[in-house]
Structure 1
Amino acid sequence: MATNKLLLNKGLKYLAGALPLLFLGPAVIYNAFINKQNVWHYLVLAVGIIFCGIGVYLAFLGLKTMVKSLFND
């Protein structure tokens, strides 16, 4: 059983893209809750939630791709 290195690299790229979003999303959400008096509060909160959602999706996709590369059908 050989490892598909192309799929493994693709999965690592997805995880590398998810890592900054998983740190940036909660920081933006925290910033939105600190600045409630600002007019842009809801927009910043929505952007933070979108960052978190994309980060979780990319992490899931990366792990799924890595498992597929390690355990070929």
Structure 2
Amino acid sequence: MSTNKELLSKGVKYLAWALPLLFIGPSLIYNAFINKQNVWHYLVLAIGIAVCIGSVYLIVLGLKTMVRSLFND
């Protein structure tokens, strides 16, 4: 049982892209809730939520790719 190293590195790259989004998303959401008097409140909140959803998607995709590289026939 050998590991597909190209697929494994692709999964690690997905997780590496998800790591900064894990910190940027909640900080954007926090910033949106702190600055409620600002006109851009809802736009910043929507961007923060989208970044958090993108982060979760990249994590799931990266883990799925890594598992596929480790346990593929």
Normalising by structure 2, report the TM-score: 0.98
Runs of 4+ deviating beyond 4 Å = none
| d(CA) in 1 for partners of 2:12, 2:38 | 38
| d(CA) in 2 for partners of 1:50, 1:20 | 14
In the alignment, which residue of structure 2 is the partner of 1:27? 27
Q: Which runs of 5+ in 1 are unaligned?
A: none
Q: Which runs of 5+ in 2 are unaligned?
A: none
| d(CA) in 2 for partners of 1:15, 1:63 | 8
Q: Aligned-residue CA RMSD in angstroms?
A: 0.4
Verify: 1:2 aligned to 2:2, yes or no: yes
Aligned residues: 73
Q: Structure 1 residue 32: deviation in Å?
A: 0.2
